[in-house]
Structure 1
Amino acid sequence: MSSNVARMDLHDFAPEHDLLREKTILVTGAGAGIGAATALAYASLGATVILLGRTLAKLQHTYDAIVEAGYPEPLLMPFDLEKAEIETYHQMAAAIGQQFGALDGLVHCAAVLGQRTPLSNYNHEAWETVFKINVHGAFHLTKALLPVLHAAESPRVIFLSSSVGREGRAYWGAYAASKFAVEGFAQVLAQEVTQHPDFCVNVVNPGRTRTQMRATAYPGEDINTVPAPETHNGLMVYLMSKHCTGTNGLSFDAQ
């Protein structure tokens, strides 16, 4: 297991009601699961959230939940990390810079599971799809957004990983390999942004969480016994806030 793995007791963490006021935060995979829960949590603390995802209908559901709760109106951004051209990432970054001036936070929740099968049987197209979304998409998006992140006073980047991205496990194939790549990418980025006085890059391993991906990976599991995505809100808020100043290059276990 990586030596930079950390745990944090946030049982008593009570964020100020306006902790993220005037912050602009982009959340990928914001249409469901941890992405949607995280976006809603940030909006509840005053942030303007950019909701990025492949499926507009799912993003609209998160958008409606935020607006109906009376939180700052989010921005919808349908975007396919698998098929987007490089130039599209830079056009997006330019649009965000023009509209907001800076980007305070970026959260990578979008991911696909791929096949659960031995490597000897793994379909090469399925393998490439997992890496296009989980790794290449995260890289291209982060690279394009670095200028607007550096323009923020205290930028934050959070990657979601997995326990199988720290210690390989049979039959997890491309998903496990992609999460190993995410952990390494985050560590490299964390070391490269240190010229900014308050740039924090960290990784969160959510553990067992009630998502569609979990249901697909464990079809026989009673989903009601699995913690809800909102369980991780405390850690996700902490790592996006001023309270995590100085916390950089770590990989957290959420459970």
Structure 2
Amino acid sequence: MQIKTVHDYQPAADLLSNKVILVTGAGDGIGRQAALSFAEHGATVILLGRTVAKLEAVYDEIEQTGGPQPAIIPLDLKGATAQHYKDMASTIDNQFGRLDGVLHNAGILKILSPFTHIESDDFNDSMQINVTGPMLMTQALLPVMQKAPTASLVFTSSGVGRKGRAYWGSYAVSKFATEGLAQVIADEYENTNVRTNVINPGATRTAMRAKAYPAEDPKQLKTPLDLMPTYLYLMGDQSTKDNNLCFDAQ
């Protein structure tokens, strides 16, 4: 994948007006900030995550700041089946008639360990939540996305999804798979209204980062808000010609 950056992008206030965008992992970290930023720029945001209380807090914050009324979908990618995603797609289609964007942000980072110590359950969970879930969800949502004038599908990768790194076993493998999945979809839908790209957030001040680097000073890291120019660019119409690219948010 070719790498692109748009760090200095300055979005118009109404960039996402009348767009319907689904954000997974919307209750915390980058997903939460993306949902808030998308709503701030006019999008109706569908908040997907496993912890209802966190989703409700984001919902309330969007309403309090005057954004369009969001929707909530409580769903755990670990246990969700293909039928769950089909039912979800049907609900979105019935309620909104289309889907203009999907940000696959939800992910899991299991214990960092030597390769020979990787537990099969941890590996399977990483693949299920980081790869299989987004794959099944995308299969179900693509027909609804094709009803939009233009639609943006964004997957979340990592630096260890481009170059393997010692001790990052399951997570790194899952992110290599994510980039491959995105490339397949991007190539298959190249001449349609659906564009597919990957975003690498980089080192960001989140709970997942703190788990991986407990001794690190989080104040030295970019915040999720600092990354939003790239996320907004990818969901706005100025990125309609971008397909099969990887965007570094830092």
Structure 1, unaligned runs of 5 or more? none
1:195 is aligned to 2:191: yes
Deviations 1:153-190 (A, max 9, x none): 00000111000000000000110000000000000000
Structure 2 partner of 1:42: 38
Structure 1 partner of 2:3: 6
Partner Cα distance (1:10, 1:242) in 2: 17
Structure 1 partner of 2:150: 154
Structure 1 partner of 2:58: 62
Could you tell which deviates more after superposition, 86-95 or 13-22? Answer: 13-22
Q: How many residues end up aligned between the 2 structures?
A: 250
Structure 1 partner of 2:126: 130
Task: Provide TM-score, normalisation by structure 1.
Answer: 0.96
Out of 214, 235, 239, the position equivalent to 1:240 is 235
Partner Cα distance (2:10, 2:248) in 1: 19
1:218 is aligned to 2:240: no
* More relative contact order, 1 or 2 (CA 8 Å, 6+ apart): 2
Deviations 1:44-83 (A, max 9, x none): 0110000000111111121111111111111011001110
1:227 is aligned to 2:222: yes
Please state how far the C-alpha of 1:225 moved relative to its aligned partner.
1.1
Please state how far the C-alpha of 1:14 moved relative to its aligned partner.
2.2
Q: Is this contact kept in 1: 2:2–2:244, CA < 8 A?
A: no
Percent identity between the aligned chains? 47
Q: Letter of the 1:124 partner, please give it.
A: S
Q: Letter of the 1:16 partner, please give it.
A: A
Q: Is this contact kept in 2: 1:107–1:158, CA < 8 A?
A: yes
Please state how far the C-alpha of 1:204 moved relative to its aligned partner.
0.6
Secondary structure of 1:114's aligned partner: coil
Please state how far the C-alpha of 1:224 moved relative to its aligned partner.
1.2
Partner Cα distance (1:117, 1:249) in 2: 32
Q: Is this contact kept in 2: 1:19–1:45, CA < 8 A?
A: yes
Please state how far the C-alpha of 1:9 moved relative to its aligned partner.
3.7
Q: Which stretches of structure 1, 4 residues or more, deviate above 6 A after TM superposition? A: none
Partner Cα distance (2:62, 2:45) in 1: 9
RMSD: 0.9
Q: Is this contact kept in 1: 2:4–2:245, CA < 8 A?
A: no
Q: Letter of the 2:129 partner, please give it.
A: I
Q: Letter of the 1:7 partner, please give it.
A: K
Please state how far the C-alpha of 1:202 moved relative to its aligned partner.
0.5
Out of 93, 110, 134, the position equivalent to 1:114 is 110
